Amino acid sequence: MTITEENKDGKKKAIRRTKRLEARVTGKEYAKAMELAETCGLTLSDYIRKCALGQHPRRRLTDKEVEALCSLSDARGELMRITAAVKSIQGSHRAQYFADTRFVEQWMRAAVLLIARWNEIQEYITQ
């Protein structure tokens, strides 16, 4: 079997896999190996190769987990924008804003909504 891999220069290089590894397993062991390979989105051959080389194949994310991860990423982006906005305010003005109870109340409402969304995501993932 021939595959290609990029070398350090970014050029593609053909790699030929010509050696075979064989192991005798029970039907139950074979079924378990197939199941693990499928959950990782790999062929059985790729899964066993990775395991034999000391790598630890990870299972693919479910659609539910991908959606939750995207939501968390969006929430992180919002936090970064909030942080940048607060940091861009001069220190003396920042003190004035946080001394203003209306500003602090709005800030708290926004934070509560963000925390509530994180809780929804956590519940969604753990269902």
User: Angle at Cα 48 formed by Cα 43 and Cα 53, nearest 5°?
Assistant: 130
- In this predicted structure, the answer to whether residue 40 has a pLDDT above a threshold of 60 is yes
The mean predicted confidence, pLDDT, of the chain is 82
Q: What integer is the mean pLDDT of 37-49?
A: 92
- CA dihedral over 14, 18, 22, 28, signed as positive or negative: positive
The SS3 of residue 15 is: strand
- In this predicted structure, the answer to whether residue 1 has a pLDDT above a threshold of 60 is no
Token pair in block for residue 79:
């936090």
In the chain, where the domains are located: 2-52, 63-126
Give long-range contacts, CB 8 A cutoff, 24+ apart: 21-24: 21/48, 21/52
- In this predicted structure, the answer to whether residue 27 has a pLDDT above a threshold of 90 is yes
Give 61-94 pLDDT, tens digit per residue: 788 888 887 888 888 788 778 778 777 878 777 7
